[in-house]
Amino acid sequence: MLNITRAYTRKVKTTRRVVLLLSEEVYILVEYKLLPKDRNFIFDAKYNAALNTIVNAKSLKVIYIQNYSDGVITIPKYYYIGKIVES
């Protein structure tokens, strides 16, 4: 009998509007559905200023973002910045 586990994927969105000045670095609050407690996951950034990271059920719901551009970056509220996938 095969035990097939479901691959978890979670959309990650910002919880509020964020304005980043030139070379500014911040941790922003994000939202996503709860993760299972028995494994680790990878945050796969789709927004170019966000960094990939390893997360689990105990991780804070924050993502590190740095403005590498030559101007001001504005990230809207509830903006899709990436997804969480199984590692």
Q: Write the CATH number for 48.
A: 2.70.40.10
What is the tens place of the pLDDT at every residue in 34-52?
Answer: 999 988 999 999 988 899 9
42's CB contacts (< 8 A; 6+ apart) are 52, 53, 54, 55, 84, 85, 86, 87
CA distance 43 to 81: 10
Residue 4 lies in a domain: no
Determine the pLDDT at residue 60: 94
Domain range holding 25? Answer: 9-86
Q: How far apart are CA 8 and CA 35, in angstroms?
A: 8
- Say what the pLDDT of residue 85 is: 95
Residue 1 and residue 69 in contact, taking contact as beta carbons nearer than 8 Å: no
Q: Is residue 2 part of a domain?
A: no
Look at the chain and report how many structural domains it folds into: 1
